[in-house]
Amino acid sequence: MQTVKMVVTGPFSSGKTEFIRSISEIDVVSTERGISKNTGEAQVKEATTVAMDFGRITVDDDLVLYLFGTPGQRRFDFMWEILAEGMLGFIVMVDSAKPETFREAKSILETFRAYAPTPYVVAANKQDHPEAWNPDDLRIALRLEPEVKLLPCIAKERDSVRNVLLELLYTILEEMEQ
């Protein structure tokens, strides 16, 4: 049986675990840990991913897609390179309502591009949030080239997640055909 891997990365609390949870056919194998109450992160979310999240989509008896979510915090960045090994492509999640994370998102994107020259897309997550920046503004903020796909996303909605994965696959296909 052949397995292929895609990586979902992005800053802390950008919605990576939720993204995988929305589409995975198995309960996401998550390595989330509670955040101690006296840290700043505790005000953002209750738990954080420390090693990786893991989801699966079975195509048929011969093919399985694995989704790996990276830990968002820099202190776990030693895991990124391990997760990036052999990936088909990657998705950079950005919390559209938290401009303080845009610089970090750009830095993570550059890091993953340096790991492997694989195709990628950027998901402008939390587009349902009242303070979300729209994708056009986000493209300028992240200084993305016009050919890079920046997709509106709501990670808790399965259709939205499916659309992002499809767009990544189309990008992979386009690059193969070039």
Partner 1 sequence: MPLQGNIRDFSTTQLLNLVNLSRRTGMLTIYEGLPTGEKDAMKNDKMAPGKERARVAFNKGKLTYAAMLERDNSLVTVLNKAGKLTDEQARVLRERASNITDKALAMRLIGAKYVTQQDILDVMRRHTEDIIYELMTWTEGPFRFDDNEQPSSDVIPVLIELENVIIEGGRRITEQRELDKFIDDLDASLEFADNPKERFKGIHLSVNEWKVVSYVNPKNTIRQIMKVLNMSEVEIKRILYSLNQAGLVEIVKPQAVRPGVKAPTPAASVAQRKPQARPQKPPEKKVVLSLIEKLKSM
Of positions 131, 145, 147, 178, contacts partner 1 by CB under 8 A? 131
**Which residue of 116, 128, 148, 156 would you call a contact of partner 1, by CB under 8 A?**
116
Alpha helices by DSSP H, listed for 66-157, are 78-84, 102-115, 135-141
What's the min distance (Å) between Cβ of 137 and partner 1?
6
By CB under 8 A, tell whether 95 contacts partner 1: yes
The rounded distance, in Å, linking the Cα atoms of 94 and 106 is 9
26 is a contact residue toward partner 1 (CB under 8 A): no
Q: How far is the CB of 130 from partner 1 (least distance, A)?
A: 6
User: Are the C-beta atoms of 83 and 116 separated by less than 8 Å?
Assistant: no
**Left, alpha or beta for 86 (phi > 0: left; psi -120 to 50: alpha)?**
left
User: What is the H or E stretch that residue 4 is in?
Assistant: strand 2-9
Number of shown-chain residues binding partner 1 (CB under 8 A)? 61
CA distance 52 to 63: 22
The answer to whether residue 94 forms part of the interface with partner 1 (CB under 8 A) is no
Our finding on whether 148 is near partner 1 (CB under 8 A) is no
Q: Which is nearer to partner 1, 54 or 104 (CB)?
A: 104
Alpha-carbon distance of 144 to 147, in angstroms, equals: 8
Binding status of residue 57 toward partner 1 by CB under 8 A: yes
Q: Which of 3, 9, 17, 16 is nearest to 114 (CA)?
A: 9
| Residue from 52, 138, 70, 136 nearest 103 by CA | 138
Q: For the CB of residue 153, give the shortest distance to partner 1 in the complex, in Å.
A: 15
Task: List residues binding partner 1 (CB under 8 A).
Answer: 2, 4, 11-13, 23, 39-41, 43-44, 57, 59-60, 63, 65, 74-75, 77-78, 80-81, 85-88, 95, 98-104, 107-108, 110-111, 113-118, 130-133, 136-137, 140-141, 158, 162, 165-166, 169-170, 172-173, 176
